[in-house]
Structure 1
């Protein structure tokens, strides 16, 4: 179990580790934790440690239980101004996978990293359920 002073880690399989590091640090506010590219790097943002595993990394090796998922898994990043983030990322040429979706908990949009992994940018609604994702 992770203690409050440790990172929660998520592994993304990527086909180009330096491109992934550049994407997450340039566009989403992550900082490099370790970077023994081209096989692997990890970047951090707050308590999230994102493990970026390239084709040559041990994390990218198939295991007997590997099966394709539904494609809905993603990291969820809270932003203060979704419209400003969308404008900034569009200007930078970032790929979007959805339009803005609004619900009782706030508004969200999906983008992809260079390998096609999903990232949800979420702006909470004001009120008692502000941190609840809409989906």
Structure 2
């Protein structure tokens, strides 16, 4: 039986595994980070492709999430000196180490996903139709 988290967190000079795992969870927490990582695990994406692939995400939020993931060393960003500029995002080698975790999640979902109730998506901003003008034509 593996040791419990508590057994790994006590003692002088020992690594506090509970705190370390909280740091690990924080890397992937956020409304969109796991979905972004899932997509980038498949292939390299351009910014516009990522935005189209994630329904409901705003440009601002995608930019913020990608910047955080780049700062954490999970995503690399390549800017090409072209007009218009082209920017590509891909997982770093460090992030590729999460591949087995994603494979395990895929296997779990294949087995149990049908038993999970479908929830309506409330992500991102909803598009609001512009109000019609009150100008009367004569």
Answer whether TM exceeds 0.5 for this pair: no
Which is helix-richer, 1 or 2? 2
Greater strand fraction, Structure 1 or Structure 2: 1
